[in-house]
Amino acid sequence: AQTVTQSQPEMSVQEAETVTLSCTYDTSESDYYLFWYKQPPSRQMILVIRQEAYKQQNATENRFSVNFQKAAKSFSLKISDSQLGDAAMYFCAYLEFNAGKSTFGDGTTLTVKP
Amino acid sequence: NAGVTQTPKFQVLKTGQSMTLQCAQDMNHEYMSWYRQDPGMGLRLIHYSVGAGITDQGEVPNGYNVSRSTTEDFPLRLLSAAPSQTSVYFCASRFGGPTSPLHFGNGTRLTVT
């Protein structure tokens, strides 16, 4: 079974600074997809960014970017110019290409200090 | 466009009671799933469905039943509630394509006493 590990239960960053959240995963598959979701205190799950495993280029979405290292099975999220609204729990997720199931990590709670 | 709608938002049950958590989506998504979120444990997959009439077990299926009679609805049934089922439950759906992200409902907070 695939596993997703987020080794940082909590992280904090100063407003306007940059922070990187770590995610590693274990799989024997070659085709899969990776996602980062954000869960603010409202409890709503929001997609932040996605990465296709067959693409070597790292995905970017405005202030959010990933560092995807397929050989190392690592998928970290970098948040630049952190804002107070970025404070949330962040989940890394793995999607199995054929089965369609998503596996989530345990989450990282990000605090943004003003 | 309502997206994914879960009801109820909150529920308190006594041990042994049964209930159904409702989930409906209006985006014509083929894939639907149920997760539970416990403190410090992220989201764990309970059951999922890749289309009407097709369901399968996830990581933690015991104590829960599902059915998918229509594309829109995917109810989760607790057969005999136990305190270990106290959790926040999320329903999520997406298109069948693998790059499609999950769309989540707002969750149901269930407490079993």
- The predicted-structure confidence for A72-102, as pLDDT tens digits, reads as follows 999 999 999 999 999 999 999 998 876 678 8
Residue B52's Cβ-count burial label (10 Å; 0-12, 13-18, 19+) is: middle
What pLDDT was estimated at residue B53? 94
What pLDDT was estimated at residue B39? 81
Chain B residue numbers touching A90 (CB-CB < 8 A): none
Chain B residue numbers touching A93 (CB-CB < 8 A): 102
Chain A residues within 8 angstroms (CB to CB) of chain B: 1, 6, 9, 31-33, 35, 37, 43-45, 47, 50, 52, 91, 93, 95, 97, 100-107
Q: Please indicate if any CB of chain A lies within 8 Å of the CB of B57.
A: no
Integer Cα distance of A20 and A13 in angstroms: 9
Integer Cα distance of A16 and A22 in angstroms: 19
Q: Please indicate if any CB of chain A lies within 8 Å of the CB of B110.
A: no
Residue A36 contacts residue A60 (beta carbons within 8 Å): no
- Which pLDDT band holds residue B18 (cuts at 50, 70, 90)? very high
Residue with tokens 């059915």: B67
Q: Please indicate if any CB of chain A lies within 8 Å of the CB of B96.
A: yes
Contact A33 B42 (CB under 8 A): no
- Which pLDDT band holds residue B96 (cuts at 50, 70, 90)? confident
Q: Please indicate if any CB of chain A lies within 8 Å of the CB of B4.
A: no
pLDDT at residue A50 greater than cutoff 90: yes
Contacts of residue A99, defined as CB under 8 A and 6 or more positions apart, other chains included, come to: none
Residue B2 contacts residue B101 (beta carbons within 8 Å): no
What pLDDT was estimated at residue A96? 80
